[in-house]
Chain A
Amino acid sequence: MSNVVSLDSIFGLGELAPPAVMPAAPEAASGCSSSSCGSSDGPADMDPAVWEKVKNHPCYSEEAHHYFARMHVAVAPACNIQCNYCNRKYDCSNESRPGVVSEKLTPDQAIKKILAVAQEIPQLSVIGIAGPGDSLAAAGKNTFATFEMLQKKAPDLKLCLSTNGLALPDHVDTIAQYNIDHVTITINMVDPEVGAQIYPWIFYKHKRWTGLDAAKILHEQQMLGLEMLTSRGILVKVNSVMIPGVNDEHLLEVNKAVKSRGAFLHNIMPLISDPAHGTYFGLNGQRGPTAQELKVVQDACEGGAKLMRHCRQCRADAVGLLGEDRGEEFTADKIEAMGFVDYDDEARRTYREHVESERAGRHASKAAAQADVRESVGFTVDPILIAVATKGGERINEHFGHAKEFQIYEVGPSGAKFIGHRRVDQYCEGGSGDVDTLDGVLAAINDCTAVFVAKIGGCPSKSLADAGIEPVDRFAFDYIEESALAYFKDYAERLGQGVVQSRAGQDAVIRTGALTARRA
């Protein structure tokens, strides 16, 4: 089966072909069951019914996000609240943030686009409606019309929607009726005093409300909607925008409140703020958090509602794996030119079977690598951060110069854990590197000890080493977590010998600008 649809043929690795023989997964170590090893997101950690719902959903399972693609259809332009971080007048295809979209679609156009994309991208597993306004504003008419048609035309695709929650309690029954298994609510506060600094107004029961009244109504509706969904067994992800000085510490309370109401995941995202976006926050100099500020809040919430750290803050019309956007390939004109596209799920079924076989055995090999580190290193060495250039499939399979983002892993005696990603400009374009871009890459991964790549040129390699970040290409095409653990074992040894130094205390810059790069 793996020869039918290999990840590499899908990803078009070209000259960077992987070795013909992959190293065999080591035997599982005794005395360490996968559930006690803190592996994130694995089937061993959750109820089988929940795992079945999330295993192919890139936004709900960190593991799935390495394998599966999502698609947002922009059928819901109307909104019922105003947020200080949003200005929907601004529309630019060079921008990547929620609320922004280039082409609004009617439900009919959306269905046609979905069928066309499904044909081209076998990794597609999820169709979401995330705006560009609120999916449930204007009575959710377009949202539900799209889902109703989709359920009939492409039953293998999962449906999900995202909302600010204001109109949610009115629509919970409809959501359940359309088998929408996943709902995301953006909850930035549980205290109206905090909310009043984020939301200038809401439109509710035929009236525009402002100030504390607005925030209080929104808060009550959000909590009610969350409780109604979880009591029906619908998985809820809560998104929170971290706004330094406004709700940063408050997010711990948000985390507790949503956990107690049954939220499945909590996704704390950095504020995207730039004067050019024309938002209230952007124009008033409100800054977003640094990478370490974000991590501190995320780490403080660990142990509460489960955290999601792989969010890419996609546009409301994003297409592809998280971290890529192939929307340009599927504009209305291009879809129109494709003519009639029929439903055919064979390629997707084959791909999903292939992923199942890839995943089998990974838990054992991760556990073995971790046990090895524990035995040889113990708990005396602090964890380190590693930046990874990857195209997906949980492998180190991207050239340094071609990376549009780096995935960040924290690795130590407790295992290797995905903790986030850093967007960068592609360093190498048209065969030559750009020095300014390289500085941006260095700033984005400055808190990392090493960067894992499939391949890297001599020049950037030297710049990285000079900056104290070790470029590592010896794990090319291997699995990320096992390689990270092997590297950590070696690092701990060298640290003991005084050959390398710890990078504790370094911070990095979160780049929130455009994700303009397309997969070549």
Chain B
Amino acid sequence: MAYKIKSAECTVCGACEAECPNIAISLKKGTYVIDPAKCTECQGQFDSPQCAAVCPADCCVPA
């Protein structure tokens, strides 16, 4: 149970990194990635996954 970032569509704006409550998102080799071990899909924390809600390119999706 985790989200992933479609790197081809990512604009590398970093909005998701700032919103992630689990510090699961980081910049690796010029693109943002989600650590599946840390991602909770924000269940029990927020109504919806924060990365997907803030992403301007709608590229944070279920893995």
Binding site for B on A (CB under 8 A): 77-80, 82, 88-89, 104, 133, 137-139, 141, 203, 206-208
Contacts and interface: CB of A to CB of B under 8 A. Distances in A.
Contacts of B18: 78, 137-139, 141
B37 to A, nearest CB: 23
Interface of B: 9, 11-15, 17-19, 46-48, 50, 53-54, 56-57
A203 B54 contact: yes
A206 B56 contact: no
B53 A206 contact: yes
B15 A89 contact: no
A208 B19 CA distance: 12
Contacts of A79: 13, 15, 56
A381 to B, nearest CB: 52
B15 A80 contact: yes
B30 to A, nearest CB: 11
A77 B18 CA distance: 12
B7 to A, nearest CB: 13
A77 B15 CA distance: 8
B56 A208 contact: no
A78 B53 contact: no
Contact of A78 (B9, B15, B46, B48): B15
A79 B17 CA distance: 12
A interface majority secondary structure: loop
Nearest to A208: B53
B14 A206 contact: no
B5 to A, nearest CB: 14
Contacts of B46: 206-207
Given A78-B18, A80-B54, A139-B18, A206 B47 contact: yes
Contacts, number: 51
Contacts of B13: 77-79, 88, 133
A487 to B, nearest CB: 49
A87 to B, nearest CB: 9
B43 to A, nearest CB: 13
Contact of B56 (A82, A139, A207): A82
Contacts of B53: 203, 206-208
Contacts of B9: 89
B15 A88 contact: no
Given A78-B18, A139-B18, A141-B18, A208 B11 contact: no
A133 B56 CA distance: 10
B13 to A, nearest CB: 4
B48 A77 contact: no
B14 A138 contact: yes
A207 B11 CA distance: 21
Given A80-B54, A206-B46, A207-B46, 18 more contacts: A77-B13, A78-B18, A78-B54, A79-B13, A80-B15, A88-B11, A88-B13, A89-B11, A89-B57, A104-B12, A133-B13, A133-B56, A138-B18, A139-B18, A203-B19, A206-B47, A207-B53, A208-B48
A207 B12 CA distance: 21
A80 B57 CA distance: 12
Nearest to B16: A78
Contacts of A78: 13-15, 18, 54
Contact of B48 (A80, A138, A207): A207
5 contacts: A78-B15, A88-B11, A89-B11, A133-B15, A207-B46
Contacts of A139: 18
A376 B37 CA distance: 82
